[in-house]
Amino acid sequence: MLQKGETAPDFTLEATPERKVHLKDLRGKNVILAFYPADWSPVCSDQMTLYNEMLHYFEKYNAVLLGISVDGAWCHHAFASARQIHFDLLSDFEPKGAVSIAYGVYEEKFGVSKRALFVIDANGIIQWSYLSPVNENPGADGILEALENLKNN
C-alpha cells in the first residue's frame, strides 16, 4: 500500500458510462480516494452514505472525494441513485483492479479493492493513507485529521 510522501499514481476511470475522471485534472485540490470492495454491501453502503453526509466538511478543505471499486459504471450509477450519493464513484473495472493494484490495495483472492483511504495534497503527493479491516467502516475522523494537517502546513 502506498504511503505518505509517495506520488499518487495518475489514473483515468469512468464516473459514468459517458464521463471519465482524470486524477491529474484535480491538481490544485486535495483529493480523498476511498477504495471499497463493492456497491450494495452493508459496510460499503454505510461508508459511502457517511461520506456523502460529510461532503460539505471535505469541501471546506478544498477536497474532492472519489469512491473507487471494481464494480462497473452502470452498477455505480444504480447504487449512487439509490443511495443519493453526490460524489463520483469510479469504476476500476477494466482492466479489473488496475488502479487498486497501483495503489497497493487490490485483494487478489476475492477480486475486489480493499477498504483503503488516501488523502492526496494539491500537488499530487499522498499525505495520509489507511487500510481498514474489510468488515469495518473506517469513518471520517482520519480523513478530517489529515485534511486539517494539510491546512496547518
> Active-site positions?
44
Positive/negative CA dihedral, 15, 77, 87, 40: negative
CA dihedral 3, 4, 8, 9 (to 10 degrees): -20
Number of helical (H) and strand (E) elements in the chain, helices listed first: 4, 9
Pairing of strands 126-131, 116-120: antiparallel
Q: Residue 127 and residue 77: Cα distance in Å, rounded? A: 30
Name the nearest CA neighbour of 65 among 76, 49, 51: 51
Burial (CB count <10 Å: 0-12, 13-18, 19+), residue 69: buried
